[in-house]
A and B are shown apart, each in its own frame.
Chain A
Amino acid sequence: MLEISDLSAGYDSKDVVLGVSIDVREGEVVAIIGSNGAGKTTFLKAVCGLLPVSAGEVRYEGRSITDLAIHEIARAGISFVPAGRHLFPEMTVAENLGLGAYPHRPEAGQQSVVFDLFPRLAERRRQAAGTMSGGEQQMLAVGRALMSRPRLLILDEPTAGLAPKLAAQAYESLAALRTQGMTILVAEQQVPLVLSLADRGYVMETGAIQLQGSAAELRDNPTVRRAYLGVA
C-alpha cells in the first residue's frame, strides 16, 4: 500500500533522515521505534508532505506521491496525526470533526464511528478544542483524521505528553481501529506499548533503519530489549 524507498529529508539542506526504506501492506499495523532525535518525526513529515523530500521516493497504492502537497496527500486517502496535532483551537469538537471530512459535509455515520471510539468527544462536542486536556485533544486529532474515511492512518507519537493510563487508552483505541481493518503506521517511543499492537516494526537510529522484523522478533531481540525495553 505504502512503499518508501531510500528517502532522505532534513532541514536547511542538512539531511537528518538518510535513505530510509519502509513498506506498509494493507491491513497491517507497522511501528517505527527509536529514541528521541532519531529522525522519526522528520521522516513522517517528509512522507506526508510537511517537509520536502531531498532524495528517494514515496509510492502510495502504486503511484508516486513524493512531491505532492500536504492537502493532496490527505485527499489521496492518507490521514496524518502529527505530534503537534494542529487542531483548530477556537472551533468546537464538532467543527473540528466536520473539517476532517472536507471537502464534503461530515457524514453522521462516520461521526458516530468516531464517537463510539471516543465517547468523551461526544460529551464535549460543543467545547472549543483549545480548552480541552491533552488526552482529549489527542482523541480529537485522531477522530478528525478518521472523518475522511482514510485508507491509511499515520500517527506520530500518539502518547506524547499523556499519563501512562491515558497512553494505554490511546493504544486501546488504535487496537479497536485495527480490528476494523484500518492500516496504521505509527512512530513511538513507548516501545512495549506499540509492540503490543503492531504486526511489524522498524528500529530507527540516527536517521537510518538499524533493524526490522515482526513485533515478536523485535520484542525478543537483545538490542531492542536492552535499548528500549529496559531489560539488562
Chain B
Amino acid sequence: MTAAILDGIVLGLQFGILGVGLTIMYGLGGVLNLAYGSMAVVAAVVVSFSMRSGLPAGLAVLLGILTAAGIGLALNLTILKPVYRRQGEARVLLSLILTIGVAFIIDGFLVWRFPIEVLSLSIGGNPVLILGVPMRTGSLLASAITLLTGGALIFFFRATVTGRAVRSVIQDEVGAQLCGVNPATTRTLIFTLSGALVGLVVVMQSMTSPVPISAGFEITILALIVTVVGGLGSIRGAMLAGLILGVVHAMSSFYIGSYITTIILLAAAAFTILLRPSGLFGKHA
C-alpha cells in the first residue's frame, strides 16, 4: 500500500513532467506535438548506442537529452514556421498534421534500422528501505531526479524572470509583447526545453523498466492524456493531472494488475473530461 503510493507519486511526477513538456508547447505556440514521444525514443537510442560504444552512462544520458532538445529546437525553427503564420484552429490542425508526419518518419526509420533496440539502464546495488519499503537503486535514482526536475521546473516558472515571461506569453501573447517579451525567442527556448524534458523522462523510465523502440506513440498518448486532463496549456494542471494519474496507475496495478491499468487510466481521464470538459485548469472552464 505505502509502496504503491510512493511508486504512484514518483510515477505521477514523471507523468507531470511529461505533460508539462507537451502543454507548454501548446500554450506557447498553439502546437500539439504528436512527434513528442518519438523525440524521446531517439534520445533513448542515442543513450543506448553511446553506452555501447563505451561512453560513461552520465555522458550518454546527457547526449541523449541534448539530442531530444535539439530535435525540439529544429522542429521549431523549420517545419513549424508555417504553423505560426496561422491562427486558432488552423494552427492547431496544421501542427497536428505536420508533427504526426514527423512521428511517422522517425518511428518508421527507427523500427526499420534498429528493430530490436531496447534502452534499459539497469543500475546495480542492493535495495534500500524507504518508509519501510524496499526500493531498488534504479528507481531511487529515478525518483531523486524526478523530484529535482519537478522542483526545478516549479522554480523556473514561478521565480525566474524568464519563466514568468513564458507564462505571460501563454496567458496573453500581446500583453507579453507590450511588456517587451519576444514570443519567438520564448518559443525557441521552450521547444528546446520540451525536448529535453521528454528525453529525461524516457531515461528515467528506462531505469525501472526497459523502453522498446516502438514506445514513441505510447509516450505521446500518455502525455496527451495528462495534458488534456490538466487543461491544454496549463502547467500546474499538467503537474496535478500527472500526479493523480500516476497514483491511479500505481494503485490499479497494485490491486488489480498491470494489464488493466491503461484502461483504468483512460477511464480516469475520460471521467475528468466529462466532469470538466476543459480539464482541471482549462482556460475555458
Contact = CB atoms under 8 A, between A and B. Distances in A.
A89 B171 contact: yes
B52 interface: no
A99 B68 CA distance: 30
Most buried by A among B174, B179, B181: B179
Contacts of B172: 86-89
B171 A71 contact: no
Interface residues of B, number: 17
Given A103-B161, A104-B161, A105-B161, A88 B168 contact: yes
A67 interface: no
A105 to B, nearest CB: 6
B101 to A, nearest CB: 30
Interface in B132-181: 161, 164-165, 167-168, 171-172, 174-181
Interface in A114-155: 144-145, 148
B180 A86 contact: no
Contacts of B177: 49, 69-71, 74
A70 B167 contact: no
7 contacts: A86-B172, A86-B178, A87-B172, A88-B172, A88-B176, A91-B171, A103-B161
Interface of A: 48-50, 69-71, 74-75, 79-80, 82, 84-91, 95, 98-100, 102-105, 144-145, 148
B232 to A, nearest CB: 14
B167 A88 contact: yes
Given A75-B180, A102-B179, A148-B180, A70 B174 contact: yes
Given A74-B177, A85-B175, 14 more contacts: A70-B174, A74-B180, A82-B178, A87-B172, A88-B167, A91-B164, A98-B161, A98-B164, A99-B181, A100-B179, A102-B165, A104-B161, A148-B179, A148-B180
Contacts of B183: 71
B188 interface: no
A88 B83 CA distance: 24
A86 B175 contact: yes
Specify the main secondary structure of chain B where it touches its partner.
Answer: helix
A57 to B, nearest CB: 21
Contacts of A50: 174
B182 interface: yes
B167 A71 contact: no
Contacts of B179: 71, 74, 99-100, 102, 144, 148
Contact of B175 (A49, A69, A87): A87
A88 B180 contact: no
Nearest to B173: A86
Most buried by A among B164, B165, B171: B171
B275 to A, nearest CB: 21
Nearest to A76: B180
A71 B183 CA distance: 9
Contacts of A145: 178
B175 A88 contact: yes
A80 to B, nearest CB: 6
Contacts of A90: 167, 171
Most buried by A among B172, B174, B175, B177: B175
Contacts of A70: 174, 177-178
A70 to B, nearest CB: 4
A148 B182 CA distance: 16
A50 B164 CA distance: 22
Most buried by B among A71, A79, A80, A144: A71
A103 B178 contact: no
A39 to B, nearest CB: 20
Interface in B178-196: 178-183
Contacts of A80: 178
Contacts of B180: 71, 74-75, 102-103, 148
A203 B275 CA distance: 53
Contacts of A69: 177, 182
B281 to A, nearest CB: 9
Contacts of A86: 172, 174-175, 178
Nearest to A145: B178
Contacts of B175: 85-88
Contacts of A79: 178
